[in-house]
């Protein structure tokens, strides 16, 4: 909930939320919320003093805290381990690159090997026609594709 400068004074809950989120200094609060919150602070000085004092005490604690500095022992161990980590990282990247390349090459080879078997034999282009000189050879050539299925089914029926 953001208060506009022309809105009615803020509520205690909103001022508390601003103080807990942005600290006890209203100058650090969002500009859109500041006029309404300052109007509430002026109208309720006792409650505002209590809220802002609590927020300021937390601010002092947070600003006083410093992150611990690493000891010389920790610093030297990290610096000693860094080249090993870099070498391992480079080794991993080469292994991943080589295995990826090998997988791609295997997939390409599988496609090259399998492609002729996947082509429909009916869709293959026919060989250059051989012209027969007499009617019997023309009929034999024309009927050859239909004779094979009948001959196979006849031999299967006899078995």
Helix count and strand count (H, E) for the chain: 5, 0
Q: Compute CA distances 97 → 74, 101, 112, 130, 151, whole Å.
A: 34, 6, 23, 54, 56
What pLDDT is stored for residue 5 in this prediction?
A: 44
List the chain domain ranges: 5-63, 91-121
Choose the most confident range, by mean pLDDT, from 131-135, 136-140, 145-149.
136-140
Nearby residues of 33 by Cβ (< 8 Å), 6 or more positions away: 2, 3, 10, 14, 18
Residue 125 — very low, low, confident or very high, per pLDDT cuts 50/70/90? low
Which among 51, 45, 3 is positioned nearest to 25, based on CA atoms? 51
Confidence band for 17, pLDDT divided at 50, 70 and 90: very high
* Predicted pLDDT of residue 149: 54
Is the predicted pLDDT of residue 139 greater than 80, yes or no? Answer: no
**Rounded Cα–Cα distance for residues 8 and 57 (Å):** 29
- Name the pTM for this structure: 0.39
pLDDT at 122 over 80: no
């Amino acid at each position: 909930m953001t208060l506009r400068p022309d809105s009615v004074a803020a509520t205690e809950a909103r001022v508390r939320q601003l103080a807990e989120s942005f600290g006890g200094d209203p100058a650090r609060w969002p500009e859109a919320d500041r006029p309404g919150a300052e109007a509430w602070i002026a109208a309720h000085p006792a409650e505002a003093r209590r809220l802002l004092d609590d927020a300021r005490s937390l601010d002092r604690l947070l600003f006083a805290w410093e992150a611990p500095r690493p000891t010389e022992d920790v610093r030297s161990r990290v610096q000693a381990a860094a080249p090993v980590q870099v070498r391992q990282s480079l080794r991993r990247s080469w292994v991943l690159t080589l295995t990826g390349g090998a997988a791609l090459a295997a997939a390409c080879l599988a496609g090259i090997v399998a492609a002729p078997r996947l082509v429909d034999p009916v869709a293959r282009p026919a060989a250059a026609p051989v012209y027969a000189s007499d009617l019997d050879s023309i009929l034999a050539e024309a009927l050859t594709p239909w004779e094979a299925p009948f001959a196979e089914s006849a031999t299967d029926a006899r078995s």
